[in-house]
Amino acid sequence: MATRQTEENLIPLWEMHSSFVCPVAGFCFSDFEIKKMLKTPGNQRGAAMDTYGLHQAIMAKIGEKNRTAEKADRFLRNKYAKAVDRFGAMDEATFKKAWTKAVLTDDMPALFYVAALRNDLSPDFLVMVYGDVHMAGYRAMTAMAASFRSRDAAIEKTDTLTALLAREKHRNGDFVDENIRLKAAVAKKTVAPTPEPVDPPGGKDPGDRIETLERRLACRDKEIRRLERERRKAEIRMFESTSKGDQLEQELNQLIAGFARVQASTLCTKEACPNFDACSKRILIVGGLTKLKELYRKIVESKGGIFDYHSGRIRNGKNNLEARVKRSDLVICPVNHNSHNACIKVKQFCNKHNKDIHMIPGSSLAAISTVFTASGLETTQEQCPVN
């Protein structure tokens, strides 16, 4: 049972800060649970909605007091009852240690729910909680991509082994037929003796050929059994990769659904943020993975920056790179996916035009995001939602 102090600390679901409505809806409810919450008169379309549609529907309901919001509030109180009892009245310093241990574990949603509904936590701590949940989405995306690569490799190996197994079985069938034919010839020779034939030059006795074929058949059978084991192992790895990929994809869909509106709603504006000019810096990324360009854009724009990009290929294009550096406020240059010449040139141009540059070892989304923390740009932007 929750203590009286815990009940006083926790506010109803519809009274929590607007910045936490979307991540709570995406992080603390499964699709099945959302359908249960929406199963009320006037909400009959839940069964036909996809994950994002369900997320939008529940978020629209829990933002204000109504029957669905009250039902959802009771449900989450019951779902996370143990976490509420344990962490609802815990002092902030101890709760912060518990939250740090729970990040990216199965306990993270429960502690996030308690943090979102407690009315006695400091804005700085809530910014940290929000940021941890925000970055979990990018980590899930990276893990899911790795899982998909592993799954595709397992599928390719399974197909190769299946084709090889079919070929070996076909060859084994040929040997079996030859063995049967030779045994029949030997039996016929035994039953109906005939004058002993003279072997042609270089010819072999049928008995010797049978022995040879039987040895070859034994080797083929052994090889087929080995291929069967390899194929089963590959199928198991493929199944594990597919299952892990499906789980990660579901988690990522929930996180993306949870952050899609939060990121759009927390961008600095001239009306909402007194540091708008500082937030809206032009960020140039030189090099990196071209296929992640749009994800780089999302990271930069989610921090309030203006995104610019150059592939790092500078054959006959040094002037274009210099022009982009010149109009940028901050330059990020991943060195692992970049030409040596591009790294040298971008350093020269930044020194020439007195531009802040960050040379980073990796081109992952997490590596790009860390630049904002290191440069101090992230602090201004992320404090806006919880002031």
Tokens found for residue 169: 């079985």
Of 31, 27, 18, nearest in space to 57 by CA: 31
Q: What angle do CA 63, 64, 68 make, to 5 degrees?
A: 90
Q: How many domains does the chain have?
A: 3
Q: Is residue 115 located within the same domain as residue 210? A: no
DSSP string for residues in 272-296: T-TTHHHH--EEEEESS-GGGHHHH
Q: Is residue 59 located within the same domain as residue 112? A: yes
Q: Is residue 26 located within the same domain as residue 92? A: yes
Q: What's the confidence (pLDDT) of residue 195?
A: 53
**DSSP strands (E only) in the chain:** 282-286, 306-310, 330-334, 356-360
Q: What's the confidence (pLDDT) of residue 26?
A: 78
- Chunked mean pLDDT (size 10), the chain, 387 residues: 64 78 81 80 62 82 82 85 81 84 82 81 82 72 70 80 82 80 73 50 67 87 89 83 67 53 48 55 90 89 88 77 92 89 91 92 86 64 40
Of 294, 301, 285, nearest in space to 346 by CA: 285
Q: Is residue 216 located within the same domain as residue 323? A: no
Q: Is there a domain that residue 387 lies in? A: no
Q: Is there a domain that residue 249 lies in? A: yes
Q: Is there a domain that residue 130 lies in? A: no
Q: What's the confidence (pLDDT) of residue 113?
A: 83
Q: What's the confidence (pLDDT) of residue 265?
A: 44
Residue 291, domain CATH:
3.40.50.920
How far is Cα 233 from Cα 307, in angstroms, rounded to an integer?
Answer: 46
Q: What's the confidence (pLDDT) of residue 353?
A: 93
Q: Is residue 334 located within the same domain as residue 373? A: yes
At residue 105, the 3 state secondary structure works out as coil
Q: Is residue 326 located within the same domain as residue 222? A: no
Q: Is there a domain that residue 132 lies in? A: no
The one-character DSSP state at 120 is: S
Q: Is residue 101 located within the same domain as residue 149? A: no
At residue 4, the 3 state secondary structure works out as helix
121 vs 103, 118, 259, 386, CA distance in Å? 18, 6, 22, 11
Q: In terms of residue numbers, what domain contains 296?
A: 276-382
